Structure 1
Amino acid sequence: MNSQETLPNTQRFVLREHQGAVNVCRYNAEGNYCLTGGQDKHIRLWNTTTGLKVITLEGHGWEVLDIAVASDHTRFASGGGDRSVFLWHAGRGELERKWAGHTQKVNAVAFNPYSNVLVSGSFDTQVRLWDLRSSTRAPIQVLRDAKDSVMALDVADHTITVGSVDGFVRTYDIRQGVLTSDYIGHPVVSLSRTRDGTSLLVGTLDHTLRLFDVTRGSLLNQYTGHRNGTYRIRSCLSRADTLVMGGSEDGTIWCWNTLNAQPVDTLKGHTNVVTCVSFHPRESSMISASADGSVIIWD
């Protein structure tokens, strides 16, 4: 880990074009653009260097709840209240495909590392896998083990990790056909894996973030001080995994030292729940989204 990693604590741009809550913010693979989705049913693409909006994407009929960007830069996916999964062409800003099948809102979407499979998780408790190379509209697999709303997904080489309101983190080894279930005891709303893939940051509705060892399932650390008991807040780790970043329902962003779990700083910029924080893939920069309708780019 890089002990010299610095906290981005200066507001470079405040983006305010969304009408209503902004539910998600994601960088592209290079970090020169970011995507935001909100209650206003729109997805907006921003240039993170200039702070200028590039395009507004319309297609959702209900609020946008999650966005995932493919590793090959060419596409991104979104899900929301429509109960459908949307696949967009990033360069053209056009809707390429749409899959139906979920019976409730789609809370989470994620690509596999090869960008040929898209995974979606829903309030209907199901996780569905969609083959991007096939013309069929049917999922290639449906995972039905969750007993309550699926809120978070993490997809690695051969594993799919699912966080649910039922308090479980379930990891499916697709290659071996093995399911591992870890009971956290509180609704799971956020999952974020370290860059080396060895640890998983889990956010739950008990005002706590927990870092688990992926192989052994043991608790490595827990991070407290923020308020998160009602709303889904997506947390993240910094570029070198030395910092844990988490939003709070009071509008602040908390930062902890990953190793000793001590708070490093608290950032103030939003006036309502911080719904999502995402760290830049290459630089000491991050973006945050809030129920107050704003998105902040921090340097």
Structure 2
Amino acid sequence: MNTSTKGRVPTGYAEETFLSEATFRAAHRSIEINPSSNPKKRKREGKGDPGSVFGASAYKGPWAKFEQEKPDAASDEEYGEDEEVEVVYEEDEIEEQPEAPASKLGTAYGDALGEKETSEFVGSQQYDYQGRTYMHVPTDLDINLRGDREGIKNFIPKKLLHNFKYHTKSITQLRFFPDSGHLLLSASADNKIALWDVYHDRELLRTFSGHTKSVNDIDFNPSGTQFLSASYDRYMKLWDTETGKCLNKFTSGKTPHVVRFNPSMPNEFLAGMSDKKILQYDVRSGDLVQEYDHHLGPVNTITFCDEDRRFITTSDDKSLRAWEYGIPVPIKFIAEPYMYSMVRSATHPSGKYAAFQSSDNQIVVYAASDRFRQNRKKSFRGHNVSGYAPDVAISPDGQFVASGDSGGYVCFWDWKTCKMWHKIQASDAPLLAVQWHPRETSKVITGDLNGAIKYWD
């Protein structure tokens, strides 16, 4: 060994000391057998009040300091019977962790369970002359909102029709009422959910409060009578669309990123979580029915396909997985080196394809059938995502693809040629939510980072 480096340690110079293992063990054992050779009697300060954070009576728990050292000759009687005495040697014994205090008065965090769900009707008229609520599909319009949708041909919107004003923070998701589209549901980072009238006065009808943090996704059940909300407060809540009552609450202790009802089984839904899992719940019992645990990152999208017998999920692990509904083993796993995480999805009306908003500023298309292969010929570019997760939407006739943009644009592409048709400057802030009206030919709704909802025609 080089003598110049011998004995050197990162903190200075140390002389080598030779101590056989047998000698060390013997010394250690003698202390264990006879611990009274040199005890120091010290007692801890009081644990304090669990409901207080600051001041002399603040809660210290197991981290309370030791009081000033007493003389070794002091007898145990000097300390009261109730006082806690700690016998310490070279290292303090680890005190057993006490149970957490039942009260959370001393913390600044709100108890998620303590938030009561409330809903308020704020429209001008709750019932019409026949006693029907807003759930009734209007028939006094120049468009039929019921029946067959065949023959609808979509066009690109050109002008602003209406501004919906209520939310104070970013719009995270927008949803039209299933099939008819006569109501609009909006979710926002201001913890609120709002229900709007799309026709007549286009007024705010009902507000839903009960989440303590940003609502990041909403989804109607197939009939529209109920909807789910997912929030960063780690709760998923089931609401009645008509009465505003919260029917059930679900939580796994992790943040849900996406929730989707099964269109063929309206009593069950899937939730993509921040802990890489997809959870399947039954809304009637509130029970967790199935758990899909193969992703390596937070789950971003859930897309049903193949007549709802299968579904596709994407994640921050930059992969795509396809599953049989109810079976927790992927039937297809796609992870290529060139892939980016896909943050939003939409199904083509034909049912043959699914479009995904990729984080590399393009919309990619995958087959929604047996092989789930990427369609390399279909890639929609020209918009900027840059750190946001703008929605992607496909028109009801399957002819156009729409997407938000971090520059405030709403962009439209032709499905067949993949060429960008048009860009509308819809906002000064990033545009995050876009949805086509299910019945109208050229109506599109958009929501931006400032909380503005705009209706285009």
Query: Do these two structures clear the TM 0.5 threshold for a shared fold by scoring above it?
Result: yes
Q: Please tell me whether residue 289 in structure 1 is matched to residue 404 in structure 2.
A: yes
> Which of 247, 252, 255 lines up with 2:362 in the alignment?
252
User: Which sits farther off after the overlay, 95-104 or 188-197?
Assistant: 188-197
Which structure would you say has the larger RCO, counting Cα contacts within 8 Å and 6 or more residues apart?
1
Q: Please tell me whether residue 85 in structure 1 is matched to residue 197 in structure 2.
A: no
Deviation at 1:51, TM superposition (A): 3.2
Distance 1:200 1:160 in 2: 12
Q: Is the 8 A contact 1:159 1:173 kept in 2?
A: yes
> Which of 309, 330, 339 lines up with 1:198 in the alignment?
309
1:69 corresponds in structure 2 to 176
Deviation at 1:63, TM superposition (A): 0.5
2:93 corresponds in structure 1 to none
Q: Is the 8 A contact 2:362 2:383 kept in 1?
A: yes
Distance 1:74 1:219 in 2: 38
1:297 corresponds to which letter in structure 2?
A: F
SS in 1 for 2:391: strand
Distance 1:172 1:62 in 2: 30
Distance 1:31 1:218 in 2: 37
Distance 2:409 2:151 in 1: 19
2:249 corresponds in structure 1 to 142
Structure that is richer in helix per residue = 2
- 1:209 and 1:291, CA in 2 relative to 1: closer, same or farther beyond 3 A? farther
Distance 1:116 1:266 in 2: 36
Deviation at 1:97, TM superposition (A): 0.7
> Which of 272, 289, 292 lines up with 1:182 in the alignment?
292
Deviation at 1:162, TM superposition (A): 1.0
Q: Deviations over 1:136-190 (max 9, x none)?
A: x541111122x32211110131112111112111111234654212113320111
User: Which sits farther off after the overlay, 49-58 or 109-118?
Assistant: 49-58
Distance 1:208 1:281 in 2: 28
Distance 2:205 2:299 in 1: 31
Distance 1:241 1:154 in 2: 17
Deviation at 1:52, TM superposition (A): 2.7
Larger radius of gyration: 2
Distance 1:79 1:61 in 2: 11
Q: Please tell me whether residue 214 in structure 1 is matched to residue 214 in structure 2.
A: no
1:262 corresponds to which letter in structure 2?
A: Q
Q: Please tell me whether residue 267 in structure 1 is matched to residue 380 in structure 2.
A: yes
SS in 1 for 2:344: coil
Q: Deviations over 1:57-111 (max 9, x none)?
A: 1111001001111113211211111101111111132211111110100000111
Q: Is the 8 A contact 1:272 1:291 kept in 2?
A: yes
Distance 2:355 2:299 in 1: 17
Give the unaligned 5+ runs of structure 1.
1-27, 34-46
2:261 corresponds in structure 1 to 155
Deviation at 1:212, TM superposition (A): 1.4
Where does 1:52-131 land on structure 2 (aligned, <5 Å)?
52-71=159-178, 72-91=180-199, 92-131=201-240
Distance 2:408 2:171 in 1: 13
> Which of 223, 237, 241 lines up with 2:351 in the alignment?
241
SS in 1 for 2:320: strand
Give the unaligned 5+ runs of structure 2.
1-144, 415-457
Distance 1:216 1:192 in 2: 16
SS in 2 for 1:88: strand
Q: Is the 8 A contact 2:364 2:374 kept in 1?
A: no
1:19 corresponds in structure 2 to none
Q: Is the 8 A contact 2:296 2:317 kept in 1?
A: no
Distance 1:32 1:49 in 2: 17
Matched pairs, number: 253
2:301 corresponds to which letter in structure 1?
A: S
Q: TM (normalized to structure 2)?
A: 0.51
Give aligned-pair identity as a percent: 20
Structure that is richer in strand per residue = 1
Distance 1:85 1:101 in 2: 9
Distance 1:151 1:57 in 2: 25
Q: TM (normalized to structure 1)?
A: 0.76
